[in-house]
Amino acid sequence: MTRQMTGAKMVVQALKDQGVDVVFGYPGGAVLPIYDEIFQQNDIRHVLVRHEQGAVHAAEGYARSTGKPGVVLVTSGPGATNAVTGLTDALMDSIPIIVLTGQVPTFMIGNDAFQEADTVGITRPCTKHNWLVSDTKNLSEILHQAFHVCTAGRPGPVLVDIPKDVQFASAEYTPPQKAKTSHYQPQVKGDMATIIELVEAMEVAERPIFYTGGGVINSGPAASQLLRELVESSGIPITSTLMGLGAYPANGQHWLGMLGMHGLYEANMAMHGCDLMINIGARFDDRITGRLDAFSPGSKKAHIDIDPSSINKVIKTDIPIIGDIAHVLEDVLNVWKSRGRKVNREAIQKWWAKIEAWRKVDCLAFKQEGKSIKPQYALERLEALTKDHDRYICTEVGQHQMWAAQYLGFNDPNRWMTSGGLGTMGYGFPASIGVQMAHPDALVINVAGEASWLMNMQEMGTAVQYRLPVKQFILNNERLGMVRQWQELLHGERYSSSWSEALPDFVKLAEAFGAKGILCSDPADLDDAIMEMLNYDGPVIFDCLVEKHENCFPMIPSGEPHNKMLLGQNASTKDAIGSKGAVLV
C-alpha cells in the first residue's frame, strides 16, 4: 500500500522510522511546514535552542553520549550558515549528526531571495555528504540515505537542504528498508594477512604500546570491551588521545594517561621509546606527534582505522589495517589466542619498569597554597566529589579542557564530550544540554573557562526552559587562559588582547535566567560549594575564581618533538632546565 504525504510530513515520518526521539532546532520561514508537522505529533520532542550553533553542538553532545545520530532542524540563510561551525566541529571529531535545513522554493534558488544562501555549496567542505532535494518524490529516500551515510564507516555530519515548495508538495513515502544504500558500504573487516602480521609483531615486541583514539568509541561498546580484553590479556601499556578517553578505564592497571601536547610525561615518553606502536582509531594529529621527523623514531607502526584516507596521511605506517575497530580487534584477539597468547613478557616487564621510572616524575604535581584556588585543585576536588555519580563531562576549549582531561578520570566510553579537532570555544554548554536531554537522570557537568562559556551563554535560556539540571563549572581566571600561556612562554610576555574585561557577575547572570548561581573564591569553601551545586535540582552556574596566571603543564612547546616537554615546577625531575616556572626535560 502506497503512502502519499507532503514533504514536511515525510521529514517527520522518516525521523520516527529512524528512531529519533529528540530534535534540536530553531524555526524560521523556510522550515515552518516541518515545524507544523512536529506540532501535530508527540513521538519526537523538539528542543528550542537560542542559536543554531548551539543546536548543532547539542546534537553532538547527544550523539557522543548515546552513540546514536543527533538531529538538527534550522531554517535557510543565516539559520544554515550559523550551523557551519558545529558541522565543521562534528566533521573533525567524527560525530554522527544530521542537519536539516530549509531552503527558498526551488523556482527562487539563484535569485538572491530573502534568506537564501548556497547551503550545499557552503557546507560541502564541512560535511561527510550533503544533498539539495529538488523533488519531493526523492525526499524520503534521501533522508534515509543521510542516516546511513552519517553512521556507516567513519561517522560524521551530513546535511539535507529542503526547499519550501518540496515541503508542501506530496509524493509517495519510501520506508527505510527500501531506501538505496548499497552505493556506500565501507569496508569493516580487516585484511587477515595483515592482522596476522600485527599479531606476529605483538608476540616479539619488547616495548609495545597501544595508542587509541576516538575511533574506538565511535565503533561502539563492543570495541571498548575487546580493547580492554586485549590490553588485560597481553599486559601491554595503553595511552589515548583526548577524544579516546574512557575507551580503556582510567583506573585500569595498564593505563598511562592521555598523551599529546598536554599529555602525561610517561605517556609521551613511552610513545617516543616504544618499538611497536599500535594505533587503534586515532589519526596521528599534530597535537600528538609534535615534530614529525622526530616522532617515535625507533618504532614499527601499525594503524587500524575504518577511514582509508587516514592511513599514511601523516605518518608512514608499517602495518596498515582498514576496517571497523570492533571487527578488527575481534579478529586480532582470535588470531592471538589461537597462536597461544604469546608476548615477550620478560621484555615487557622491563618496559614497565622504565615506564614506572617516568611515572615518578609526577608530571601533574601541584601545590595548593594560600587563599587562591588552583584550577588543578578545583578539578581534583570535583573528581573526588562526583566520581561515584552517574556522570557525564563536557568541556569548553582551553586550559580548563586540558586540566579536565588530566585530573578527571573516565572509566567508560561516551562519558567525555569535548571539541578535539576544531577546538571550538562555545562547544561545551550546548553539548551538555544535548547530553542531559539524552540522560535526564544523570549528573552532567560542563567544565568551562569564562571566555569560552560566554560564547554560547544564551543557551542558559534553553536549560531553564526545559528544566535541564546541567552544571556549568566555570574556572574563572579572567583571562583567555591558553592564549595568555602561549604569549607568556612563546611571545615575550606580550599579552595582546588576552585579558577578559567587563566580565558579568555570573551569580546575577544565573539568577537573571532563573537558574542558580554559586561563587567560590576560597579553597576552604570549595567542597561545600561543589556539594551545593550537586544538590541543587536545576541548572547551575558555578563561578570558581582561580589563580589567574596558572599555566597548564606538561606542554610540548611549538616545534619540539613529543619527548621534549615543559613540566610544572613541582614535577620531580633532576635533569631539568628552569623556564618561567616550568622545567624543560
Say what the pLDDT of residue 579 is.
Answer: 41
Share of the chain above pLDDT 70, in %: 97
Query: Average pLDDT, stretch 181-191?
Result: 94
Q: Cell match 534515509: residue? A: 144
| pLDDT tens-digit map of 5-26 | 999 999 999 999 999 999 999 9
Q: Which of 360, 385, 408 is the last residue of a domain?
A: 360
- In the predicted model, is pLDDT for residue 367 greater than 70? yes
* Residue 45, SS3 per DSSP: strand
How many Å apart are CA 361 and CA 375, to the nearest integer? Answer: 20
Please indicate, yes or no, if residue 479 is contained in any of the structural domains: yes
Cell 590490553 found at: 231
If asked whether residues 10 and 126 sit together in one domain, one would say yes
Angle at 293 (CA atoms; ends 291, 297), nearest 5 degrees? 110
pLDDT confidence of residue 333: 98
Contact 399, 555 (CB under 8 A): no
pLDDT at 517: 98
Arithmetic mean of pLDDT, 89-106: 98
Burial 73-111 (b: 16+ CB within 10 A, else e): bbbbbebbbbbbbbbbbbbbbbbbbbbbbbbbbbeebee
pTM: 0.96
Say what the pLDDT of residue 562 is.
85
pLDDT at residue 573, as a whole number:
66
Higher pLDDT, 531 or 584: 531
Is residue 564 assigned to a domain? no
- Cβ neighbour number for residue 139 with a 10 Å cutoff: 27
> What is the predicted pLDDT for the residue at 344?
97
Final residue in a domain of this structure, among 290, 325, 360: 360
Domain end point (choices 300, 329, 360): 360
**pLDDT value at position 287?**
84
**pLDDT in the model for residue 574:** 45
Model confidence band, residue 188 (pLDDT cutoffs 50, 70, 90): very high
If asked whether residues 393 and 355 sit together in one domain, one would say: no
Mean pLDDT, the chain, integer:
95
Look at residue 75 and tell me whether its pLDDT is greater than 80.
yes
The CATH number given to whatever domain includes residue 347 is 3.40.50.1220
| C-alpha R_g of the chain | 25
- Do residues 219 and 339 share a domain? yes
- Report the catalytic residues: 52, 114-115, 164, 482
Domain that holds residue 484: 375-545
pLDDT at residue 491, as a whole number:
93
Q: Are 386 and 534 in contact (CB under 8 A)?
A: yes
The pLDDT value given to residue 500? 82
Residue 547 pLDDT level (bands cut at 50, 70, 90): very high
513: cell is 535566567
What's the grid cell of residue 251?
583506573
Q: By CB neighbour count within 10 A (0-12 exposed, 13-18 middle, 19+ buried), where does 437 fall?
A: buried
CATH code of the domain in which 139 resides: 3.40.50.970
| pLDDT, tens digit, 9 for 90 and up, residues 388-412 | 999 999 999 999 999 999 999 999 9
pLDDT at residue 390 in the model: 98
Residue range 137-177, pLDDT digits in tens: 999 999 999 999 999 999 999 999 999 999 999 999 999 99
Burial of residue 144, with CB atoms counted within 10 A of its CB: 0-12 exposed, 13-18 middle, 19 or more buried: buried
Q: CA dihedral defined by 15, 16, 22, 26, rounded to 10 degrees?
A: 40
Q: Answer yes or no: is pLDDT of 557 > 90.
A: no
Residue 510 forms part of a structural domain: yes
Backbone angles phi, psi at 143, to 5 degrees: -60, -45
Q: What is the mean pLDDT of residues 466-494?
A: 96
Under the banding of pLDDT at 50, 70 and 90, the label for residue 560 is confident
Is residue 204 within 8 Å of residue 275, measured between CB atoms? no
* Dist CA 480 CA 85 (whole Å): 20
For strand 577-579 and strand 582-584, is the pairing parallel, antiparallel, or unpaired? antiparallel
**Can you give the pLDDT at residue 578?**
38
> In 40-83, where does DSSP find H-type helix?
52-66, 78-81
Beta bridge partners of 474: 448, 543
d(CA 448, CA 433): 14
Query: Residue 183 domain-assigned?
Result: no
Selection from 281, 277, 336 nearest residue 310 by Cα: 281
Split at pLDDT 50, 70, 90, the class of 559 is confident
Instruction: Decide: helix, strand or coil at residue 99.
Output: strand
Statement: residue 577 has pLDDT above 70: no
Three-state SS for 100?
strand
Burial category of 464 from C-beta neighbours within 10 Å (exposed 0-12, middle 13-18, buried 19 and up): middle
Task: Please report the DSSP string for 118-150 in residue order.
Answer: -HHHHHGGGSSEEEE---GGGHHHHHHHHHHHH
pLDDT value of residue 558 = 81
Tell me the one-letter amino acid at 511.
Answer: E
Region 523-548: mean pLDDT is: 98
Same domain, 147 and 202: no
Q: Residue 528 falls within a domain, yes or no?
A: yes
Q: Does residue 315 sit in the same domain as residue 429?
A: no
Report the DSSP beta bridge partners of residue 171.
5
Number of folded domains that form the chain: 3
What pLDDT does 290 receive?
82
Round to whole Å and give the CA distance between 455 and 427. Answer: 9
Residue 486 in any domain: the answer is yes
Strands 157-163 vs 129-132: parallel, antiparallel or unpaired:
parallel
pLDDT given at position 584: 58
Q: Is the dihedral of CA 73, 75, 78, 80 positive or negative?
A: positive
Residues 341, 390, single domain; the answer is no
Q: Which of 554, 213, 531 is nearest to 402 (CA)?
A: 554
Question: Is residue 554 a part of any domain in this protein?
Answer: no
Neighbours of 537 (CB within 10 A): 8
- Provide the pLDDT for residue 582: 53
Is residue 260 domain-shared with residue 355, that is, in the same domain? Answer: yes
Mind listing the pLDDT tens digit for each residue in 35-51?
Answer: 999 999 999 999 999 99
Asked if 241 and 213 touch (Cβ cutoff 8 Å), the reply is yes
Same domain, 209 and 283: yes
Shared domain check, 426 and 293: no
Residue 290 lies in a domain: yes
CA distances from 277 to 190, 196, 197, 207, 212 (A): 18, 16, 13, 9, 10
Same structural domain for residues 49 and 166? yes
Greater confidence (558 vs 95) lies with 95
> Above 70 in pLDDT, residue 2?
no
| Residue 566, helix vs strand vs coil | strand
199 and 121 in one domain? no
Q: Are residues 382 and 314 in the same domain?
A: no
